[in-house]
Structure 1
């Protein structure tokens, strides 16, 4: 009986701790990492650092001075030297450690061994980032941060910068229009493309920019944001009328820039500009962000007349993509399907869109159209997105870099309320006034009386 009681006294708490840890790891991975995963991984890394580096081929032969000193003092065989490491910096999602590369090493050597380091140290993933020549940073991620997205509390945002998603290395994915002016976003139905677009509009709504929309699904995607939109076209016919106005606005801005360039020869060089950002603040036009949802609808034609209208709209979109950056006009082109078979101008338009975000798509051709010119492995990653993970996407740009991202959930009600509360920030653009959407009046909610009336009875 005493043995049974001893077993219960010792085994009960151990089983409770083990079960609690397993539950926390499955349901609350961040809490599990902070309490269990971080200490275990830290001890494992510190105790096995040298042997793991040697097993992965990331060590170098010691210097002659070190060999002579070791033989003179210990008479032992000198083992290969691993890279010198800095202090461990724990985070809420993993660990960071900086390494000073030995002569002859490069960051690609560590990137090629990232999978082996992940298994050796028992973490979810290992990412390598060059810091400066001779120094790299290993970012160890303790758990799958894309399973339940939580954006970091501190994000370096700014004007025309919108944090819209979380990368797989636990860093925020920020849409910066000053750096990447135009972007192509693809995604099938229920892939999370609309959520991504919702975050962009809600993030830009609080900034002094003009938001213009072309929604060929009769406005069902962008209609909830009408209080903040400066213009909205809900079918190809309206889009054919809106796009020339935007092109004319761009040309007027170029005339303003040219007038500023034609100043006296003695003017300081910093006052001569080639885009609107060099203009004085009181002369600078407000930036314009054009959202094009279901871009394939602009390419579809049924008659000869529709074909002429299509060619004209595509030409205007290409002009905006080619020349709009300097005029402060940016494109966000979205769709379920995008390929060369859409018609003349599709590939040329794609070439002007620097940023690429590809959610789950229904065919490999769309993924290749979005990411094929960036990296072949990015296409494979986009085609392997499961339907059970809406919001997961592959983001890249024409520089060749890419990463997996996932957009956090944002309800349509919250996004629409953000646009409604920031309706006063809609800029005054007379050219777009005829296309300003009608804002539906908010229904008045009558408060219930404190005392319910009772019928008078005899």
Structure 2
């Protein structure tokens, strides 16, 4: 009986602790990492750093001076030298360690061994970034941060910058229109494309920017944000009227820039500009972000008249994509399907869209259209996105880099409320006033009486 009691007293807490750790690892990975995973991984890294580097081929032969010193002072075998290690810096999602490369090493050596380092140290992933020549950062991610997205508190904010998703290396994916002016976003139904667009609109709403929408699904995607929109077209006919107005606005801004470039002899160099951002604050026009949802609807035609209208709209979109950046006009082109078979101008328009985000798509051709020309290896990653992980996407740009990202959940009501609260920030653009959407008046409910009325007796 005493043995059974001792077993229960000792085994019970151990079993509860093990079960609690297993539950936390599955349901609350961030808490598990902070309490269990972080100390274990740090000890494992410190105790096996030299042997792991040697096994991965990331060591170099010691210098002659080191060999002589070791032989003179000890009888130990002279072993290869690993890179010099810095202080381990814990984070909420993993570990960071800075390494100084040994002579003859390059960052590509560590990137090629990232998978072996991941298994050796028991973490979810290892990412290598170059800090400066001869110095790299190893970012160890302790768990799958894309399973349940939690945006960092210190995400980058600023003019025309929106932290819209989380990368697989636990860093925020920031949509920066000043750096990447135009972007193509593709995704099938229920892939998370609408959530991505919702985050962009909600992030730009509090900023000094004009938001313009073309939503060929009769406005079901962008109509809830009507209080903050400067213009909204809900079908191809209205889009055909709106796009020439934006082109004229762009040309007027170029005239403003050229007028500023009527350079007088004594004009300082810093006042000479080639875009609106070099203009003084009181002269600079407000930037415009154009959201085009279901872009394929602009390409589809049924009659000869529709074909002429299509050609005009596509030409105007291409002009905005080619020339709009300097005028402060940025494009966010979204759709379920995008391919060369849409017709003339599709490939030319894609070539002007620097940023690419591809959610789950229904065919490989769409993934190739989005990513094949910038990062062919990212096409397979986009085609392997599971339907049960909405919001997961592959983001890339024309530099060839790409990464997996996932957008956190944002309800339509919260995004619409942000737009209503920012309705006073809609800029005054006279050319867009005819296209300003009607904002429905919210009904004001009557307060219920505190006391029920009592009938008066006759």
**Cα-Cα RMSD:** 1.0
Deviation string 1:341-361 (CA, Å, 9 cap, x unpaired) is 000000000000000000000
Corresponding position: 1:398 with 2:398? yes
Instruction: After the TM superposition, list the runs of 4 or more consecutive aligned residues in structure 1 that deviate by more than 6 angstroms.
Output: none
Find the residue that maps to 1:51 and give its secondary structure.
helix
**Distance (Å, rounded) in 2 between the aligned partners of 1:98 and 1:33:** 21
Deviation (angstroms), 1:156:
2.2
Deviation (angstroms), 1:63:
0.5
**Distance (Å, rounded) in 1 between the aligned partners of 2:104 and 2:449:** 80
Deviation string 1:208-258 (CA, Å, 9 cap, x unpaired) is 100000000000000000000000000000000000000000000000000
Deviation (angstroms), 1:146:
0.4
- The aligned residue for residue 41 of structure 1 is 41
**Distance (Å, rounded) in 1 between the aligned partners of 2:453 and 2:358:** 58
**Distance (Å, rounded) in 2 between the aligned partners of 1:5 and 1:168:** 48
Which aligned pairs between 1:52-131 and structure 2 lie closer than 5 A? 52-131=52-131
Which aligned pairs between 1:344-363 and structure 2 lie closer than 5 A? 344-363=344-363
Find the residue that maps to 2:41 and give its secondary structure.
helix
**Distance (Å, rounded) in 1 between the aligned partners of 2:8 and 2:198:** 54
**Distance (Å, rounded) in 2 between the aligned partners of 1:37 and 1:370:** 37
Find the residue that maps to 1:23 and give its secondary structure.
helix
Deviation (angstroms), 1:373:
1.1
TM-score by length of 2: 0.99
**Distance (Å, rounded) in 2 between the aligned partners of 1:162 and 1:66:** 51
Compared CA separation, residues 95 and 433, structure 1 to 2 (3 A):
same
Deviation (angstroms), 1:266:
2.0
**Distance (Å, rounded) in 1 between the aligned partners of 2:386 and 2:220:** 26
Find the residue that maps to 2:108 and give its secondary structure.
helix
**Distance (Å, rounded) in 2 between the aligned partners of 1:252 and 1:428:** 15
Deviation string 1:197-218 (CA, Å, 9 cap, x unpaired) is 0000000000010000000000
**Distance (Å, rounded) in 2 between the aligned partners of 1:120 and 1:452:** 72
Compared CA separation, residues 455 and 2, structure 1 to 2 (3 A):
farther
- The aligned residue for residue 205 of structure 2 is 205
Find the residue that maps to 1:219 and give its secondary structure.
coil
Find the residue that maps to 1:449 and give its secondary structure.
coil
Deviation (angstroms), 1:457:
8.8
**Greater CA drift, 389-398 or 71-80:** 71-80
Deviation string 1:168-209 (CA, Å, 9 cap, x unpaired) is 000000000000000000000000000000000000000010
**Distance (Å, rounded) in 2 between the aligned partners of 1:449 and 1:353:** 58
Deviation string 1:128-155 (CA, Å, 9 cap, x unpaired) is 0000000000000000000000001111
Deviation string 1:260-279 (CA, Å, 9 cap, x unpaired) is 00121221111110000000
Corresponding position: 1:5 with 2:5? yes
Corresponding position: 1:221 with 2:183? no
Deviation (angstroms), 1:456:
7.0
